[in-house]
Homo-oligomer: A and B are copies of this chain.
């Protein structure tokens, strides 16, 4: 766009050397002998002219565009997903790479065409990301390419995955509950959210529940009940209201998602119950809402930023991308919704 850029040929001419010499001087390679005097003259000319290499042209020869593509289902749309992108961007920037962001919106054809668009622009690698942790089958265009799966798993597909450590998060929720003294009257709202189409339990709900129950059991505690419902505000409100209406008086609620917690807050409020005075609430995700809720919600943070960062770091680490599963810890955000058991 506009005004001709300064090229290496310009620099070479200005320094009175050949383009070859300029190239070697600028790239700082030592395997080709360039006198200090020449090198200095080239560098000085480049500085004076404000020379910047044309990455696109260079890539034609080197095969590296210093560019990474990210394809997601609809990650840019979700409230926290910006963090994934930001984490990835940060890591990329630290190594002078740039990110193409694309979104296929669950459309397979769009997905393929976006991958093509990325490949046509010679990206060095592709990050295939999903909004929720789940099993996927990446588009065939990605086979044999440098790929990292972000927030998803694809058994049999030759690429590393980066996912939140949901199992450990479930355990941490249980530990927090136990530490606060809760052993009875604990209810889980939201349940497993098992998606039928996906094999066994890597899915957030399953793992969170598994970790939760495991540590609760080890600690001599247990769940009084598990209410399976959608992970949204409305269901959280409805189910907790129903629970209270049935005469149950829980002492702690483990909400499987912050949105559910928000609904629970509303139901608890209407019933005249205070958090955490009457009922403690611990949650998962740490969406924006978690910190503005009153009282602020204690929750296990989905490490989106770290997820994005690690995906890029794996790529920039160089070498082949081994198909390992990298689990990123979900830190506990201790705020105000978790207290001791009511009446103690």
User: CB within 8 Å of B: which residues of A?
Assistant: 1-3, 52-57, 59-60, 63, 65-67, 76-79, 81-83, 85-86, 89, 93, 96, 98-103, 110, 114, 116-125, 144-146, 233-234, 237, 259, 262, 266, 269, 288-289, 292, 294
Residues of chain B within 8 A (CB-CB) of A78 are 82
The answer to whether residues A120 and B53 also contact, given A85-B101, A102-B98 and a CB cut-off of 8 A, is: yes
Chain B: minimal CB distance from A20 (Å) = 19
Q: List 16 A-B contacts (CB under 8 A).
A: A1-B146, A52-B120, A53-B120, A55-B120, A56-B122, A67-B121, A77-B83, A82-B82, A85-B101, A93-B114, A98-B102, A99-B102, A100-B100, A234-B292, A237-B294, A269-B269
B56:A60 contact, CB within 8 angstroms: yes
Residues of chain B within 8 A (CB-CB) of A118 are 98
Q: Nearest chain-B residue to A291 (Cβ)?
A: B233
Distance in angstroms between the alpha carbons of A209 and B86 in the assembled complex = 34
Residues of chain B within 8 A (CB-CB) of A85 are 76, 101
Number of copies: 2
B98:A98 contact, CB within 8 angstroms: no
Extra contacts, 19 of them, besides A78-B82, A79-B79, A98-B100 (Cβ < 8 A), are: A2-B144, A52-B119, A52-B120, A54-B120, A56-B120, A56-B122, A57-B60, A60-B60, A66-B121, A77-B83, A81-B82, A82-B82, A86-B103, A89-B102, A93-B102, A98-B118, A234-B292, A237-B294, A259-B292
Residues of chain B within 8 A (CB-CB) of A81 are 82
Distance in angstroms between the alpha carbons of A67 and B57 in the assembled complex = 15
The answer to whether residues A121 and B292 also contact, given A2-B146, A103-B86, A103-B89 and a CB cut-off of 8 A, is: no
Distance in angstroms between the alpha carbons of A162 and B60 in the assembled complex = 36
Distance in angstroms between the alpha carbons of A76 and B101 in the assembled complex = 11
Residues of chain B within 8 A (CB-CB) of A65 are 56, 121
Distance in angstroms between the alpha carbons of A122 and B7 in the assembled complex = 13
The 6 lowest CB-CB distance pairs between A and B, nearest first, are A76-B82, A101-B101, A55-B120, A1-B146, A233-B292, A56-B122
